[in-house]
Structure 1
Amino acid sequence: MTQSAKSLDRETVADRLLKGSIKRSYAPVVDIDWAAPLDEGKYFLPPQVLSLYGTPMWESMTEPQRIELSRQEAANILSVGIWFENILNQSLLRTLLHTDPSSLHTRYILTEMGDECRHMTMFGRAIEQMGAMPYKLRGYQAVGVNVLPKLFRGTMLWVAALIGEEIFDATQRRTLDDPQLQPMIKRLMQIHVTEEARHIRFAREGVRRRVAESHPIERLWVGSVNGVGGLLFRRLFTNPVMYRRAGLDSREARRQAWANPHFREVQRSGFASLAAFLDENGMLRLPSRVMWRRGGFL
């Protein structure tokens, strides 16, 4: 394929996504009823996706304790979402320094960044509305987060985007119609799933294009190290602080969560589609498989 044909294909994808953005985009400040009170007795995440669901600790908890755990896990996940979308936007901004500012591809990157800014606003406001507190980065985490945007470039940028988007998206799709879910959270998920579908399509096309163009060493590197995401998410999704805020023994709660076969199944289901895509494109090498498996995603 010639360089002009590659460019045209990239422009065609961007054109379709831009048209989709015009048809179905949201402004959470008005598309969510922030004045509506929370529904007493409803969960902030469906019980079946919570890290302790089915464990001895879960069985010993009262219904109000389980709902409080769902509040804290939801606030933790939304906080992680804010961190990731911040990193992604920084990486995309760096990419824009080297792209044609008049292209449709650049225009869609800017559109996606606008979506992510609204998502961060939506997540922050949801945490406040839930009556929870955001989860902050620890010192060493803050150092890592400030380094990552400099590392996310080329193939790594698009693979990292998929890792940050698809695992959350798959779980949301399976649970957004759960009748036990708070209406505000359900609406948030509907908005996020709709707009992330375009972001995922854009990132997948980015991976396919980079795999076709990049040097074998880059493909080997990215395919071997992306499994770090599995180890990282394992720790982030079982943040000891959220268990402590829920009134639980944080050390024992994390131990039971890590050993919880039900939670591992939730993780595997969320990663299944992305794992197949990465494998198909040579982006799931042995070192990454080992790390994703250790994280409970394979």
Structure 2
Amino acid sequence: MTSTQPRPTTTYQPPVKQDAELDYEQVLDDLSSASVHRNFDPYIDIAWDAPEMAIVPDDPRWILSYTVDPIGRHPWYQSLPESEQIRLGMWRQANVAKVGLQFESILIRGLLQYSDRLPNGDKRFRYTTHEAKEECNHTLMFQELVNRIGMKTPGMRRWLRLLSPIVPLFSTITPTVFYFGVLAGEEPIDHIQKDFLRGKDGLHPAMSAVMELHVAEEARHISFAHNHLRATIPNKGRLTKFVLSIAMPIVMRVLCNAIVIPPAEFRKEFNVPREVMKDIFWESEQSKVFLAGVFGDVRMLAEQCGLMNPASRRVWRALGIDGRNSRFRSEPAYTAS
């Protein structure tokens, strides 16, 4: 017999979000808001045509820092005449800026492809689009600096320049590995620029202005990558996390070399002996300490994501990028106990 009793009323209850997911969404809101209210334009916020910004020949402020730059501290560089130290320093800084804009170009393409696949209402769409816009401004800023220095520099090493059209595809094929690559490019540049700014006496004002603007906005970009990986990796399967734990240090080391080590044109332009290049990158004790120090924040992130295990620790060590983890993001090396 059919019942005439009314059915109980049911209402849709959305899934309850976990604390980590709620925290991640709050981070996305905060970062998007900061992108709206604290953003920069390189043609408004940098006084390119001010007299003190002029780039002139034989300016000793282009001599590479002994304490920060791996090339600047090497005895071979120290033995060069001052005029050659200046010329090499200008080439080096212009090439670092060129590398920066090439890396940002790859990142912009990857971010736009990544955001294109996101569903309606996903808060990552807004933030990643904000970030892409800011990175476009960074490419303008870096190219302006390169143009004003006036050195013919190629930027990244040849193999990465050739692969650059392919790299953004990883943002939709394997987004986690793509964000490993993002950090592999952003962390070394951010680390070096912060070291320069901590002791910026003698730094050319044009370089200082570019670094200050870049570091200020890059803090948001690195924060997003860290929070994104912390929110997404723990939910992956055990095998996937193991593979990612091995991939992470490999991506860090390969891309760090591609971005930090000058291209072959540098060695030819300044007749740098091969053994000197090997010593600087990364055979001397000082350079080994520098290389390991660059990834303190990333090692901390790997621990937080559950990607540090006995096997992955061996990979970090074999690649020369193991060491003490940062206690907090952007911890200066000199605070180590």
Structure 1-normalised TM-score?
0.87
State the alpha-carbon separation in 2 of the partners of residues 287 and 87 from structure 1.
31
Alignment of 1:96-115 (within 5 A): 96-115=115-134
> Are residue 266 (structure 1) and residue 283 (structure 2) matched?
no
What CA deviation, in whole Å up to 9, does each residue of 1:243-277 have, x standing for no partner?
A: 333x2335243123132322332222222122222
Q: Say whether the 8 Å CA contact 2:70–2:280 is kept in structure 1.
A: yes
* Counterpart residue number, 1:234: 257
User: Residue 129 of structure 1: CA displacement?
Assistant: 1.3
What CA deviation, in whole Å up to 9, does each residue of 1:31-53 have, x standing for no partner?
A: 11222302621027533232333
* Counterpart residue number, 2:31: 17
* Counterpart residue number, 1:84: 103
Q: Say whether the 8 Å CA contact 2:157–2:259 is kept in structure 1.
A: no
State the alpha-carbon separation in 1 of the partners of residues 32 and 315 from structure 2.
36
User: Residue 122 of structure 1: CA displacement?
Assistant: 0.9
> Are residue 73 (structure 1) and residue 97 (structure 2) matched?
no
State the alpha-carbon separation in 2 of the partners of residues 29 and 83 from structure 1.
19
Aligned to 1:10, what secondary structure does the other structure show? helix
The count of corresponding residues between Structure 1 and Structure 2 is 297
Match of 2:233 among 188, 211, 220: 211
* Counterpart residue number, 1:254: 277
2:234 is matched by which residue type in structure 1? A
Q: Say whether the 8 Å CA contact 1:51–1:263 is kept in structure 2.
A: yes
Tell me which protein shows more helix as a share of its residues: 1
* Counterpart residue number, 1:148: 167
* Counterpart residue number, 1:135: 154
Decide whether aligned partners of structure 1 residues 55 and 7 sit closer, same or farther in structure 2, where only a CA change above 3 A counts: closer
Aligned to 2:189, what secondary structure does the other structure show? helix
User: Residue 166 of structure 1: CA displacement?
Assistant: 1.9
- State the identity as a percent: 24
Unaligned runs of 5+ residues in structure 2 are 1-14, 323-337
Unaligned runs of 5+ residues in structure 1 are none
Q: Say whether the 8 Å CA contact 1:219–1:283 is kept in structure 2.
A: yes
User: Residue 203 of structure 1: CA displacement?
Assistant: 0.8
* Counterpart residue number, 1:157: 178
Q: Say whether the 8 Å CA contact 2:62–2:86 is kept in structure 1.
A: yes
> Are residue 63 (structure 1) and residue 85 (structure 2) matched?
no
State the alpha-carbon separation in 2 of the partners of residues 146 and 169 from structure 1.
24
User: Residue 182 of structure 1: CA displacement?
Assistant: 0.7
What CA deviation, in whole Å up to 9, does each residue of 1:63-83 have, x standing for no partner?
A: 222222222222222222222
**Structure with larger RCO (C-alpha < 8 A, sep 6+):** 1
The structure with the larger Rg is 2
Decide whether aligned partners of structure 1 residues 138 and 171 sit closer, same or farther in structure 2, where only a CA change above 3 A counts: closer
Q: Say whether the 8 Å CA contact 1:72–1:243 is kept in structure 2.
A: no
User: Residue 136 of structure 1: CA displacement?
Assistant: 4.9
Q: Bigger shift: 218-227 or 95-104?
A: 95-104
